Amino acid sequence: MMRVEPPADTTHIRQLDIHHDLLQVADLIELCFANTLDADGREYLRQIRAAATDPAYLRWVPGSEERVSMPLHGYVWVQDQRVIGNLSLIPIYKFGRWQYLIANVAVLPEYRRSGIARQLTLRALQHIRDHRVGSAWLQVRDDNPPVQHLYQSTGFVERSRRTTWINQYNPPAPPGVSVTGRRGSDWEQQYVWLKRAYPPDATWNLSFDARRFNPGFWRQLWRWLNSENQEHWAARITHSDRLLGLASWEPLRTLNDQVWLAADPENEDTALRALLPQVNRYLSPRRRPIHINYPAARSGEAFHECGYRILNTLIWMERRVL
């Protein structure tokens, strides 16, 4: 069992008070992450501010027992009667177990480099241990080494490094490769490639489950009964019909379209150069950004050639608590 290091000073730390702190926390997050907030991040802040002024919502939260994904639990650092630091604790249940996501670690610029973020993190780890949850996770941008070092010093280790790509324009597909709809016989290979591109350490926090793409009868019936839509495309070498890769899309409750890629490791770039233009053409009428979560440092040239740019690269880190 790993020991959680107790913070040296807790005089300024207290639990988040949803009746008084949410608006200050939203302002703090917006100030600290203004340069990296995307449309979903801004919607997230809008929801926090809406919750802060909704009496029914505030009455419901105390009974939620830390089982909601909004930032309604966590710790703040209060000094001079104002919130100058924040840390949110978001419980997520997946793969049959609860885990905590540490998020929104923010400190006012004039108070940084004084140990506040570290002490908030240590208090959060103790909270997670007290709740008998085995793991804490967080994400940090790959272009922020000081914050990476902070979390490494508190026991976090890197589990995955993921790049999110966003589309900008639509080039033609490469010659000699055709893109068609997925065949039922493609599923077994698609599942293998999906598990390679999206292992559990990278997807435990995402709305992704490869089994949802199973073309079997019962899955199709479930999707029909629940009005769930999906689209799948397969890239093949034209003359031999050899399968190179697949792309899958399903609508999510976000402000962007998420696409999941599965490709033959030996022909990954060729598959993506064929699939991404088809994805762009199909989804462009929706007028929503297309986001693709993919292993960092893989197929970068193919993404760039197909009109995508890097939105961010995040390092996912885990700290075993129990």
pLDDT at 255 (0 to 100)? 82
Q: What is the DSSP string of 93-111?
A: EETTEEEEEEEEEEE-GGG
Q: How far is it, in rounded angstroms, from Cα 16 to Cα 18?
A: 6
Considering the chain, what percentage of its residues have pLDDT values greater than 70?
A: 91
Q: Quick one: 255 exposed, middle or buried, by C-beta within 10 A (0-12, 13-18, 19+)?
A: middle
- pLDDT tens string 29-84: 999 998 888 888 888 899 888 888 887 766 666 555 666 555 578 999 999 889 99
- Are 168 and 307 in contact by the 8 Å Cβ rule? The answer is yes
Question: What's the whole-number mean pLDDT along residues 213-242?
Answer: 88
Report long-range pairs for 218-227 (Cβ below 8 Å, ≥24 apart): none
Q: Which two tokens stand for residue 195?
A: 């598990």
- Are 75 and 123 in contact by the 8 Å Cβ rule? The answer is yes
Secondary structure class of 76 (helix, strand, coil): strand
Residue with the larger pLDDT of the pair 51 and 88: 88
- Are 7 and 14 in contact by the 8 Å Cβ rule? The answer is no
Statement: residue 3 has pLDDT above 70: no
CATH topology of domain 13-133: Aminopeptidase (3.40.630)
Statement: residue 188 has pLDDT above 90: yes
Q: How far is it, in rounded angstroms, from Cα 316 to Cα 160?
A: 5
Domain ranges for the chain, please list them.
Answer: 13-133, 165-316
CATH entry, 165-316, from 3.10.290.10, 3.30.470.30, 3.40.630.30, 4.10.80.40: 3.40.630.30
Among the ranges given (10-14, 66-70, 236-240, 283-287), the one the predictor scored with the smallest mean pLDDT: 66-70
Statement: residue 317 has pLDDT above 80: yes
Q: Give the residue among 95, 108, 82, 98 at the shortest CA–CA distance from 21.
A: 82
**What are the residues facing 94 on neighbouring strands?**
97
Considering the chain, what percentage of its residues have pLDDT values greater than 90?
A: 64
Q: What does the angle CA 100 – CA 230 – CA 243 come to, to the nearest 5 degrees?
A: 100
- pLDDT tens string 138-187: 999 999 999 999 999 999 999 999 999 998 777 777 889 999 999 999 99
Same fold, 13-133 and 165-316: yes
* pTM, 2 dp: 0.84
Question: What's the whole-number mean pLDDT along residues 261-272?
Answer: 97
